[in-house]
Amino acid sequence: MLDRVPSVYSLLSPSATVSNANLRSRNLHGASCQISGSRQYGALAGKNQPKNPVKAVLAGGIAGGIEICITFPTEYVKTQLQLAESSKPKYTGILDCVKQTVRGHGVLGLYRGLSSLLYGSIPKAAVRFGVFEALSNPVRDSNGMLTSTQGLFCGLGAGLAEAVLVVCPMETIKVKFIHDQTSAKPRFQGFFRGVVQIVKEQGLKGTYQGLTATMMKQGSNQAIRFYVMTSLRNWYRGDDPGKKVGMLVTACFGAIAGAASVFGNTPLDVVKTRMQGLEAHKYKNTWDCAKQIWQKEGAMAFYKGTIPRLGRVCTDVAIVFVIYEQTVRFLNIVWPEKTN
C-alpha cells in the first residue's frame, strides 16, 4: 500500500508533471466517454420502439373487453334514439329512453345486447391495434415516431380491417337484439339462439347488412382517432421522442380524439344503424337509406343520438388507449422486445 503513495519529490519532479498530465488527460477522457455513453444510452432508452403486433392484439383485446362493460348503457340509448323515426318518435329524449327502459325491463334492460357487443369488442380492438401496429411499424422513423399523416392512413387501414372482419356482423346482431327488445313480444332468447335465428331467416348475409356504411364509418373513425392521437402525442413530446405520456394525458388525448370522430362521422353511424335494424328491408342499399332519411326526416336526423354517442365514445376511446398502453407496458416487462 505504501509504495502506491507518491512522495513529495515524485509529485514535484518534471517527469512526474508529464505523467500526471497524462493521468489527468486519461481521467478527463474517461469522464467524457462516460457522459457521452450515458447520453447515448438515454437517447436509445427514450426511443418509442414499435410494438410487436402480437402484443398489440393481446393488449387491444383486453382493453376492448373492459371498455364495453363500462360504457354499454350509453351505446344502448344511442341506438334506441337512432332507430326511432322522426314521424313517430317513441322517446322524447335521452332521459325518457332510460326511464322507459328501466320501467319496462329494469336496470339490466340497459344492458340488453351486451353479450353480442362483448363478443365482438374483444376481437374488434384486437384487430384494430394489431393491424395498426403492423401497418405503422415499417414507416416509423429511427425514434419509432409516426407523422400525423402516417397515423391517419394506418388508422384508416385498421378501421377498414375491423369493419370487415368483426364490426359489421357484430353491429348487425347488436342492433337487431336492441331493436327486438322494442317489440311487444321479443323473439330472440339469448345470444347464440338469436344468431342462429337470424342466419336461418336471412342467411349469412343477414349478419352483414350495411357493410358499406360500416366500412365508411369505421374507416373514418379510426383514421380520425389515430390522426388526432398521433398529432397530440407528437405535440406533447416535442423534441424529446422518449418523453413518457402519462395515463391522465393519454386519457385526455383519447377523449379529444373520440369527440373529433363523433362530430366527423355521426351521419354515417345513423345510416349504418338503420341499415342493420329489423326494418332494413325498407332500404335498397346504403345510399337509398341516406336518401330516404334526408327526404323524410331532414338533415338533423343524421345527427340523432349525437349526445349519448359523444359521452360513450369519449369515454370509450380514453379508456381503450389508457388500458392498451398500460397492458403493452406490462407485456414488455414479461415479454421483452428483442434488440439488435
93 three-class SS: coil
**Residues 256, 63: Cα–Cα separation, whole Å:** 18
**Residues 76, 309: Cα–Cα separation, whole Å:** 10
**Residues 40, 25: Cα–Cα separation, whole Å:** 22
Residue 327: what are its φ and ψ, rounded to 5°? -65, -40
Please say whether the beta carbons of 219 and 159 come within 8 A. Answer: yes
Mean pLDDT of the chain: 81
Residue 209: what are its φ and ψ, rounded to 5°? -80, 140
Other C-beta atoms closer than 10 Å to the C-beta of 82 total 26
**Side chain identity at residue 47, one-letter code:** K
Please say whether the beta carbons of 152 and 227 come within 8 A. Answer: yes
Rg (CA), the chain: 29
**Residues 143, 197: Cα–Cα separation, whole Å:** 52
CA dihedral (270, 275, 278, 282) positive or negative: positive
CA dihedral (310, 255, 152, 332) positive or negative: negative
**Residues 63, 319: Cα–Cα separation, whole Å:** 8
State the DSSP string of 221-252: HHHHHHHHHHHHHHHHHTT-TT----HHHHHH
Give residue-wise pLDDT tens across range 37-61. 333 333 223 345 546 788 899 999 9
Chain length of the chain:
340
- Written as tens digits, the pLDDT of the chain (340 aa) is 444 444 444 444 444 444 454 544 455 444 444 434 333 333 223 345 546 788 899 999 999 998 888 888 888 888 888 777 666 778 888 899 999 999 988 998 888 878 767 888 899 999 999 999 999 999 998 888 999 999 999 999 999 999 999 988 887 887 787 778 677 777 887 777 788 888 888 888 888 888 888 899 899 999 999 999 999 999 999 988 888 899 999 999 999 999 999 998 888 888 888 887 777 888 888 889 999 999 988 988 888 878 878 887 898 899 999 999 999 888 888 888 766 5
What pLDDT sits at residue 53? 84
What pLDDT sits at residue 335? 83
Q: How far apart are the first and last CA of the chain?
A: 45
**Residues 49, 141: Cα–Cα separation, whole Å:** 10
Give residue-wise pLDDT tens across range 9-43. 444 444 444 445 454 445 544 444 443 433 333 32
What does the block give as the cell for 188? 330472440
Looking at the chain, list the stretches that DSSP marks H as alpha helix, in order from N- to C-terminal side. Answer: 8-12, 14-46, 53-83, 94-105, 114-136, 148-162, 168-181, 191-202, 211-237, 247-276, 286-297, 306-334
**Residues 339, 316: Cα–Cα separation, whole Å:** 34
Nearest to residue 158, comparing CAs of 129, 184, 122, 181?
Answer: 129
Other C-beta atoms closer than 10 Å to the C-beta of 115 total 16
Residue whose C-alpha cell reads 369488442 in the numeric block: 121
**Residues 273, 174: Cα–Cα separation, whole Å:** 10
Give residue-wise pLDDT tens across range 203-248. 888 888 888 888 998 999 999 999 999 999 999 999 888 888 999 9
What pLDDT sits at residue 318? 95
State the DSSP string of 282-296: G-SSHHHHHHHHHHH
Residue 147: what are its φ and ψ, rounded to 5°? -85, 165
